[in-house]
Amino acid sequence: MPIRTVVGYFPDLEAAEGARSQLIEAGVARHRIALRPLALEDAMAVSDPQDVANCEVSVVSEPRDWERVSELMARNGARRTVLLPR
């Protein structure tokens, strides 16, 4: 299976930064993690109107890590996670 990107959508920057820290502590290489605040139109496009995401954390990962990364994001406040092509 190819390398893919796991993306987690977070309610705010603080939650996204906390998730990034937890991913690093769990052994995910820092260079594989990106954090990006979402523009308003992006936030609305990825979220339910009652559950807006304002930041995303993405992790380029091997197939064996997809589930673990997604679970770590969810435990640390991700409103939703998705798996995208690299």
**Domain boundaries defined on the chain:** 4-85
Top-tier CATH class for 4-85? alpha beta
pLDDT average, residue stretch 17-42: 90
Structure tokens at 41: 């139109």
Instruction: Confirm if 80 and 10 have CB atoms less than 8 A apart.
Output: no
Looking at every residue in the chain, the average pLDDT score rounds to: 87
This prediction's pTM: 0.84
Q: Is the pLDDT of residue 5 over 70?
A: yes
pLDDT at residue number 42: 59
- In tens, the pLDDT along 40-71 reads 655 555 555 556 678 999 999 999 999 999 99
Instruction: Give 79's contacts (C-beta < 8 A, 6+ positions apart).
Output: 9, 10, 11, 47, 51, 53
Strand order in the sheet with 33-37: 33-37, 55-61, 4-10, 80-85
* Alpha helix (H) residue ranges in 1-86: 13-25, 40-46, 66-75
Share of the chain above pLDDT 90, in %: 66
